[in-house]
Amino acid sequence: MIDRDVEQGERRPPAGRAHRFRVPTLLVLVALIPVLGMLVAVVSSTQRLERERQAAERLQDETVELTRLIDARTAVGMEEVASAVVVIAAELGVTPAQLEEMFGHDYEADLREARERVDADPLLQSSPRLDRIVVGLELLRPRIDAGDASFEELLEITGAAREELEEAWAARVRAHTARALQDDLPGAVQVRFQALTGAFIVLTSAADRALLTEVAITRGTTPELLSRLVDATGAYRTLVDAFVPRLGPKGQAAWEALVADPATARFQTVLETTLEELLAGETPSLAGDPYTFGTAFIDGPRWAKALDATATAAADDLTDLAAKHARDATRAVRTQIALTVVVAALSLVAALALGRSVSRPARRLSGAAHQIQEGRFALEPLPETGPRELAHTARAFNEMTSTLAAVERHAVALADDVDDPVLREELPGRTGRALQVALNRLRHTMQVAEERQAELRQAATHDGLTGLLNRAAAFEVLSRDLLRADRGAGTVVGLFVDMDSLKQINDRYGHAAGDDALRLTAEALREATRASDVVARLGGDEFLVAGLLGPDEVPGGDVAHAEELAERVRAAVAGKVVAVGDGEVVPLRCSVGIALAGAGSTAESLVSEADAALLEAKAAGKDRAGWSSAHAARRAGR
């Protein structure tokens, strides 16, 4: 209720003398409205600038990660080039010492430097998949040094590393693109990011182009190889035209240095000339002559390093621009805060001065406003007394009070149930109609947000292609099952499932057929397992099946149940075929590694043992299920 002491102490003038006087100084009150609006705008602007600063800092972190990918991709490419020189020379009967004598260049030093760069690259050592590829490369190195490694073996390993790094790059770019829709960064920053993306793609397409040209010269050409070379050359030319204008100052300088370098120009001419000869159906002029071939390709590493320098410079440009934007946003935030403090102080001084002349009506408004703030809307109407402006304000306040009471009902209903019938009632007054629109929009936004949350939960825990659990979600459920098993609920069995022919399907029939094969494999795993079992895609063509086996659940014990489950999974996959067109189908096959959890087992150790069993099953001939030798040793020791 309104303060009655104030009301009772109030003395009304006689009717004949009643008047509402104007106080010129009260006009300042009108100025408070734009001042308050300015304060709101300043706060909003400060929040926006802070978001921009945080977005710029995130972009700096992303650029660091992308630069690491560029460094790793370059390291792999350098070892691939240096190793290819030694391998091809060995096939032609030329030793590294003879190469140095022929061309006056220490190729063995290049190879050592390239290997050291790969071994020291933190990204190549931190990823399990890349680490396995690097281990394979390390195993091949002694054979390269001995001169009995083939060019094809080298390309298989380095090609896998390049593909993995390019997939990681694409994933980073997709993540940035999705975030860029929310982070309102300036267009110049986005242009620099596009330049960096283009530089990396130019780097990879250029490497593909040089490699395909080298294969065509040393191994001969095929229609497929020529088609890939034409595509790589066309992609390189198109991307260069697109990304060079977007480069920043450092990127432009690096690119201009590349273009002006006679060595890179010579190597570019070699690539162009060889392609023209191949398209004309001629044997490349560099084929069959090791000295001429070596002389032509001696500038290749310098060309590749110049491209890498351009990509790295593009990353530096993006980092510099993001850092500048972060600094500018920080300065602007400080300026806005200082301005807010000054405006707020001035407003407070003005309000105190005006309060002395309009204290009683202001106290009534303040008391009523506090009750509104506390959520009590059942107020007696304010007297429409005092200066004309305050009288009009009291009238508007009375109208707003009734509107707020209705809004409260709508807000409570909205918090409890977005489909409450109360929300279909019209709010009173002009302000009520405006609030009605806002509430309706909020209601729709809440409904959309609930739907988006459900979609995000699904995307965070499931593989997008197969619909199975992803690795993180699978390990979380598996860890819970292991805890239950430790409390005596049973034994956890784990199966590591790997498709036997996905690469061949992808290579021969395309990735669409490979995706069908993955989906059919996931379908087979679901059909062969219980609803309570963990069925997940770990990545690529690797799957996990795990489940908690209750005490005395299956006659024959845990081992028999695990073997029966593994065979059921293998048979289910073998019962699927992929349609590849024209009535042709390709049967699917898989290998299965089996593991049983023991005391103290973790999700990682159980999957690791099943993975080891899978490798032994594949080594024994594929399309089979088996235990690891470690499991056999444990059983023999019982």
Q: What is the DSSP string of 247-316?
A: --HHHHHHHHHHHH-HHHHHHHHHHHHHHHHHHTTPPPTTTT-HHHHHHHHTTHHHHHHHHHHHHHHHHH
Question: DSSP label at 427?
Answer: P
Closest of 158, 133, 134, 135 to residue 83, by C-alpha: 158
Q: Report, as ranges of residue numbers, the positions in the chain whose pLDDT lies below 50.
A: 1-2, 4-16, 23, 27, 554-555
22: three-class secondary structure by DSSP: coil
Residue 12 neighbours by CB distance under 10 Å: 9
Find out whether 482 and 604 touch, Cβ atoms under 8 Å.
Answer: no
C-alpha triplet 605, 611, 612: angle, nearest 5°: 90
User: Can you read off the two tokens belonging to residue 152?
Assistant: 């094809």
pLDDT at 241: 81
To which H or E segment does residue 345 belong?
helix 300-357
Strand partners, 587: 577
pLDDT at 247: 84
Find out whether 533 and 550 touch, Cβ atoms under 8 Å.
Answer: no
Residue 272 neighbours by CB distance under 10 Å: 12
What is the C-alpha to C-alpha distance for residues 46 and 52, in angstroms, rounded to an integer? 10
Per-residue burial over 146-172, b if 16 or more Cβ lie within 10 Å, else e, is: eeebebeebbebbebbbebbeebbeeb
Secondary structure of 363-399 as H, E, C letters: HHHHHHHHHHHCCCCCCCCCCCCCCHHHHHHHHHHHH
Strands 491-499 and 542-549: antiparallel
Closest of 536, 521, 499 to residue 618, by C-alpha: 499
Find out whether 216 and 284 touch, Cβ atoms under 8 Å.
Answer: yes
The sheet with strand 542-549 has its strands ordered as 534-539, 542-549, 491-499, 590-596, 625-627
What is the C-alpha to C-alpha distance for residues 185 and 187, in angstroms, rounded to an integer? 7
For 100, counting Cβ atoms within 10 Å of its Cβ (0-12 exposed, 13-18 middle, 19+ buried), the class is middle
CA 64 distance to own-chain centroid: 14
What is the C-alpha to C-alpha distance for residues 117 and 249, in angstroms, rounded to an integer? 28
Strands 491-499 and 625-627: unpaired
What is the C-alpha to C-alpha distance for residues 547 and 535, in angstroms, rounded to an integer? 9
Distance set, CA 196 to CA 73, 315, 602 (Å): 14, 6, 41
pLDDT, averaged across the chain: 78
Half-sphere exposure of 96 (CA within 13 A, CB side): 17
What is the C-alpha to C-alpha distance for residues 480 and 433, in angstroms, rounded to an integer? 53
Strands 625-627 and 542-549: unpaired
Secondary structure of 52-115 as H, E, C letters: HHHHHHHHHHHHHHHHHHHHHHHHHHHHHHHHHHHHHHHHCCCCHHHHHHHHCCCHHHHHHHHH
CA 608 distance to own-chain centroid: 27
One DSSP character per residue, 441-477 reads HHHHHHHHHHHHHHHHHHHHHB-TTT-SB-HHHHHHH
Closest of 184, 195, 234 to residue 70, by C-alpha: 195
pLDDT at 572: 95
229: three-class secondary structure by DSSP: helix
What are all long-range contacts of 470-479, with beta carbons under 8 Å and residues at least 24 apart?
470/536, 470/537, 471/536, 471/537, 471/538, 471/539, 473/536, 474/534, 474/536, 474/538, 474/544, 474/546, 475/603, 475/604, 475/607, 477/534, 478/534, 478/544, 478/546, 478/603, 478/606, 478/607, 479/602, 479/603
Strand partners, 543: 497, 537
Strand partners, 493: 547, 596
Closest of 500, 620, 518, 516 to residue 570, by C-alpha: 500
Half-sphere exposure of 217 (CA within 13 A, CB side): 28
Closest of 494, 518, 498 to residue 506, by C-alpha: 518
CA 151 distance to own-chain centroid: 35
pTM of full prediction above 0.85: no
Residues with Cβ within 8 Å of residue 266, at least 6 apart in sequence: 299
For 590, counting Cβ atoms within 10 Å of its Cβ (0-12 exposed, 13-18 middle, 19+ buried), the class is buried
Question: DSSP label at 420?
Answer: -
